[in-house]
Each structure stands twice: as structure tokens, then as C-alpha cells.
């Protein structure tokens, strides 16, 4: 690539950045007619959707200067918006949680943000909206794949046409090879994926697909069980991608999504022999609430129900 071509591409990217920030209106101080700056709003948003942030984790997630973040958190703490909760596993760590007052302050900000996006989408017809959303997803996937934000060799995306076939095929193959399960398990997975596509609720459900070097290496689903309970389903990590933290990352994304979607609990069904998956669930605080012996997929198994309060 010549220097001239590089400079032209840089100019295009910078021009798009300026256009997009103007279009969504985030350059104005007092974001969304509130007393908060854009950065302060981002902090509130992240804390509203996760109880797992320490101050250092939050700084890395948002790419913030430590001094600025410290001042912003001190301001919120003085206003009674946040509290520090000691980790049960490491007494030296404190997690940042929004208080009742903090959630109250965030609620109108979140609603105004939603309304602005709805108003923006309303300017376009259905075809234009689909094109816009697809383009946004493409940008996000490409940038996330190349981002230095994570040191992991994989990246996550949402499902695309053809992915359900992969999920069904690889579950059938791997569970046959590793546990001797018969084709009835593959049929069950096929039914679950078909139900997901036929009844898909984008705001309430999600499929996460993991890719590494352009190849799919993992998947997991969050589906609606009822209005307040979500179900985690079909966690799978290819053998070549195990030992890298992918399984834990997939489950973590499910928990974060379920919180953002407004669920109160996340449940899952597994079997006692799936020890690696069970260890991941335990690490996130899932508790075993029921066990039942059953004969399925050609074997005598112990089915387990686990749940996590969000």
C-alpha cells in the first residue's frame, strides 16, 4: 500500500467518525439533556449492566485515563450513585455497583438514548434499516476481530445464515466422539436451533458465535424461558480452542446480555459428566438446584439444573 492510498483511507475513516458522532448527537455536552458528559454516561451505562467491574477493569473497558476515571467515580460516590462491594473471593478487590439512586439517575438517560435511536431509525424504511444494521454489525465484527482490547485469539459475533447448521453438526460429532451419545442428541440440538430461529426475539435472545482465524470454534445461546427468566443453552467449544478461556468468555457474555435484557435469573440444564462446563458455571456463581436421573442419547445420565440470580 502506498503512502497516498493510506492517507486517503485514514481521511475516510476520520470523516466517517466525525459524521457519525454528529449524526447521533453525542458531541453536545450534557448528553441527552442530562448533567452528564459522554464519558460519565458511558460509565453509568457499563455499571448499570454489570456488577463485575473493578475500577481498573472499568478503565480498561472504556479506555479511560486513570486520573479522569478516579475523579468521575469520586463524584458519583459523593452523589450516592455508586458503592464499593468487597469481592467474596479476593478481599483486596472491590466491585463497583450502582446504588438505588444511581439506577434512578441512569433510568431517564437510558430511556432518552433509546428514544433517540428509535427516532433515528424511524427516518428509514425497513430495507434501509436492515442495510444500516447489517453495515453496523459488519463494522463491529471487523473492528472487534482486529481490536487490541482483548488478548484472546478469538472474537465473538452474533449468528448468521448457516451457523445453526454448524452448531447442530458439531454438537452431533463432538458428543458422539467424546461421550458416545447417539443421534438423538443431534436431533435435540436441531430442534433447539430451529426453535431459536423461528421464535427469535432480538431484544431478549442472543446466539454468540466464536471465531478464530476465520473458523468457527464455539457457540452459546441465551433464550427466553419466561418474562423474568432466561435460559443458557448449547455451550460448545471446539477441542482446538479449549484452554484459552473461550468457554468462560461465552458464558460471561450470556450473563451480561441477560442482565441488559432485564432478566432476573439465568438458568441452564446440563449433565453431571460435563465437568468442564460445570466448573465454568460454578466460577460465575451458578448454583445447582435440581438433579434427576434419566436415560437419554443411549446412556444413563444425571441431569442437572443450575441457576444464577442476576
Q: Tell me, what's the pLDDT at 290?
A: 96
Q: Tell me, what's the pLDDT at 171?
A: 97
Burial of 290 (0-12, 13-18, 19+ CB in 10 A): exposed
Q: Tell me, what's the pLDDT at 29?
A: 46
Tell me the domains of the chain and their CATH numbers.
Answer: 3-123 (1.10.10.10), 155-309 (3.40.630.30)
Can you tell me which residue has the cell 443411549? 298
**CA angle 269-97-233, nearest 5°?**
15
In Å, what is the CA distance from 182 to each residue of 26, 178, 189, 276?
54, 11, 12, 21
Q: How many CB atoms lie within 10 A of CB 186?
A: 19
pLDDT tens-digit readout, 153-177: 778 889 999 999 999 999 999 999 9
Contacts 24+ apart (CB under 8 A), 91-96: 93/54, 94/54, 94/55, 95/51, 95/52, 95/53, 95/54, 96/47, 96/53, 96/54, 96/55, 96/58
The rounded distance, in Å, linking the Cα atoms of 49 and 188 is 32
Interacting residues of 281 by C-beta distance below 8 A, sequence separation 6+: 251, 268, 270, 306, 308
Q: Tell me, what's the pLDDT at 287?
A: 96
Of the candidates 66, 44, 214, 61, the residue with the CA atom closest to the CA atom of residue 145: 214
- The answer to whether the CB of 14 falls within 8 A of the CB of 63 is no
Helices 38-49 and 246-260 pack at an angle, to 10 degrees, of 100
- The answer to whether the CB of 301 falls within 8 A of the CB of 295 is yes
* Positions in the chain whose pLDDT score sits under 50: 27, 29-30, 148-150
Q: Are strands 265-271 and 82-86 parallel, antiparallel or unpaired?
A: unpaired
Interacting residues of 50 by C-beta distance below 8 A, sequence separation 6+: 256, 259
- The answer to whether the CB of 280 falls within 8 A of the CB of 255 is no
Q: Tell me, what's the pLDDT at 145?
A: 55
pLDDT tens-digit readout, 65-76: 888 899 999 999
Q: Tell me, what's the pLDDT at 268?
A: 98
Amino acid at each position: 500500500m502506498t503512502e497516498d492510498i493510506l492517507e486517503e483511507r485514514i481521511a475516510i475513516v476520520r470523516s466517517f467518525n466525525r459524521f457519525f458522532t454528529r449524526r447521533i448527537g453525542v458531541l453536545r455536552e450534557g448528553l441527552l439533556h442530562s448533567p452528564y458528559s459522554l464519558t460519565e454516561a458511558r460509565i453509568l451505562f457499563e455499571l448499570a449492566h454489570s456488577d463485575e467491574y473493578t475500577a481498573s477493569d472499568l478503565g480498561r473497558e472504556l479506555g479511560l485515563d486513570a486520573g479522569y476515571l478516579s475523579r468521575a467515580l469520586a463524584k458519583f460516590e459523593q452523589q450516592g450513585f455508586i458503592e464499593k462491594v468487597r469481592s467474596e473471593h479476593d478481599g483486596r478487590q472491590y466491585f463497583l455497583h450502582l446504588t438505588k439512586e444511581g439506577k434512578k439517575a441512569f433510568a431517564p438517560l437510558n430511556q432518552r438514548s433509546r428514544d433517540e435511536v428509535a427516532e433515528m431509525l424511524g427516518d428509514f424504511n425497513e430495507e434501509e434499516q436492515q442495510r444500516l444494521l447489517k453495515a453496523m454489525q459488519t463494522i463491529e465484527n471487523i473492528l472487534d476481530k482486529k481490536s487490541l482490547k482483548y488478548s484472546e485469539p478469538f472474537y465473538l459475533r452474533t449468528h448468521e445464515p448457516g451457523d445453526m447448521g454448524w452448531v447442530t453438526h458439531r454438537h452431533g460429532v463432538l458428543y458422539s466422539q467424546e461421550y458416545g451419545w447417539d443421534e438423538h442428541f443431534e436431533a435435540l440440538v436441531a430442534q433447539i436451533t430451529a426453535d431459536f430461529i423461528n421464535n427469535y426475539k432480538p431484544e431478549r435472545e442472543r446466539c454468540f458465535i466464536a471465531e478464530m482465524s476465520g473458523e468457527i470454534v464455539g457457540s452459546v445461546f441465551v433464550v427466553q424461558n419466561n418474562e423474568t427468566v432466561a435460559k443458557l443453552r448449547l455451550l460448545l467449544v471446539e477441542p482446538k480452542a479449549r484452554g484459552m478461556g473461550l468457554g468462560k468468555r461465552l458464558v460471561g457474555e450470556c450473563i451480561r446480555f441477560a442482565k441488559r435484557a432485564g432478566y432476573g435469573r439465568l438458568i441452564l440444564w446440563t449433565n453431571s459428566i460435563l465437568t468442564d462446563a460445570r466448573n465454568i458455571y460454578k466460577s460465575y456463581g451458578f448454583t445447582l438446584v435440581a438433579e434427576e436421573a434419566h436415560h437419554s442419547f443411549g446412556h444413563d445420565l444425571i441431569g442437572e439444573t443450575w441457576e444464577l440470580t442476576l
